[in-house]
Amino acid sequence: MRSDTATITDALEEAILNVIEGVGNINIIVAGKTGVGKSTLINCVFRGELAKTGSGKPVTQQIEEITKEGHPLTIIDSKGMELKDYQKISADLEFFIKKRSISGDENKHIHAAWLCIQESSNRVEDAEIELCNMLKKLSIPVIVVITQSMFGKENDFITKVKKDLNAATAFVQVRALAGEFEDDDGELYKFKEKNINALITETAGLIPEAKKRAFANALNSRHQSSMKIKIEQAGKEVLAASTLAAVAAASPIPFSDAILLVPIQVGMLAKVGVTFGMDVSTSALTTLVMSAVGSGAVTVVGRVLVTGLLKMIPGVGTVVGGVIAATTAAALTKALGARYIAVLTDFCEKNPGKDLDIALIGAELKRKMSFS
């Protein structure tokens, strides 16, 4: 007969593996002429400096897939829009998208496209119009991103862009890099980042619900809209886990068997961690769980969670008749989730754009839950 320790260990491992498999992947096309600032934009919006030089994997001569281990995001970089033979490049991209669209693996599907046009170019190329129309025909929603924007309001060029690229879903003027320049009179002008939050929000609206966790994970935490998306998605994960806990305890659970809630609560911790930007890997998520509940937790984790959580919930300081009912199970899980979101939010706000410190976050959660 297997020990309780082995049983709990298996349950923890299975919960974490299920989370990893459930994250999936999102795929975004980023197209535009050389020099429009695609790499700068990608690195600004998403975490982990995704678009470093040479990081892409060639698919064709002018199409690259940019990925990074632990990131549930693939950027499809379409190049060569300034070349005379763009018709061939466009045909290659169309074939690539169609092949992805019919794949039985939904993680291969294209979810959105950014068509980047530099504001100072003052013209819309035929290739850009053709690409926008082609993407719409293939049911890929397009956001036209006016890059390196210097103007605060719409001007004649922006009006023309909207007219010529009317197949697009949205238009956003952005500046992904703060900077300054000096005019002929020696006057110094400084520029901040601009409308990155708007681009993130517009893109989020195009991502299927099933891929929201992956999108939240990929976002750079230094942007206000990124944090809003992460917190909202994490709240959904906690609500879902609380509901599952209530179902699991529909027949009251003996206090000694409270470990039955552990797979649900561990899965929730892992999902919330992924949502906030934790690398999608077994080692990272296992480290999180062990940091939160202690190295010896596999034998007592259920009881530790319960005894720690019971102290935190008004009116649930004791367990009537030695059992945990559905309402109590849901309240315990919700309390754990709420405090974890608070810990992650606090870390991100104090360390904007930085990688999550798993050990530090786990220790802080453990402290907040009064685990001994």
State residue 16's pLDDT score. 85
Domain assignment present for 2 = no
Domain assignment present for 78 = yes
* Same structural domain, 361 and 263: yes
Examine the fold and report which residue of 198, 220, 242 is the final residue of a domain before the chain moves on.
220
Residue ranges making up the domain that contains 289: 227-368
State residue 246's pLDDT score. 85
**For the chain, what percentages of helix, strand and coil (3-state, to nearest 5) are there?**
55, 15, 30
State residue 297's pLDDT score. 39
* Same structural domain, 76 and 165: yes
Examine the fold and report which residue of 220, 245, 265 is the final residue of a domain before the chain moves on.
220
* Same structural domain, 306 and 267: yes
The per-residue b/e assignment along 61-75, b for 16 or more CB within 10 angstroms, e otherwise, is ebbbebbbeebbbbb
* Same structural domain, 204 and 243: no
Domain assignment present for 332 = yes
* Same structural domain, 205 and 252: no
Domain assignment present for 19 = no
CATH number for the domain spanning 186: value is 3.40.50.300
* Same structural domain, 30 and 172: yes
State residue 258's pLDDT score. 60
State residue 184's pLDDT score. 65
Which of the residues in the chain have pLDDT under 50?
1, 256, 295-301, 304, 317-319, 321-322, 371-372
Q: Where are the extended beta strands (E) located within the chain? A: 26-32, 56-60, 63-66, 73-78, 112-118, 142-147, 170-173, 179-182, 188-191, 253-254, 323-324
* Same structural domain, 233 and 150: no
State residue 295's pLDDT score. 42
Examine the fold and report which residue of 220, 249, 282 is the final residue of a domain before the chain moves on.
220
State residue 277's pLDDT score. 94
* Same structural domain, 104 and 209: yes
Name every residue whose Cβ is closer than 8 Å to that of residue 237 and which is 6 or more positions away in sequence: 213, 268, 271, 272, 275, 337
State residue 219's pLDDT score. 97
* Same structural domain, 252 and 358: yes
What token pair was written down for 197? 């939050």
State residue 3's pLDDT score. 52
State residue 95's pLDDT score. 92
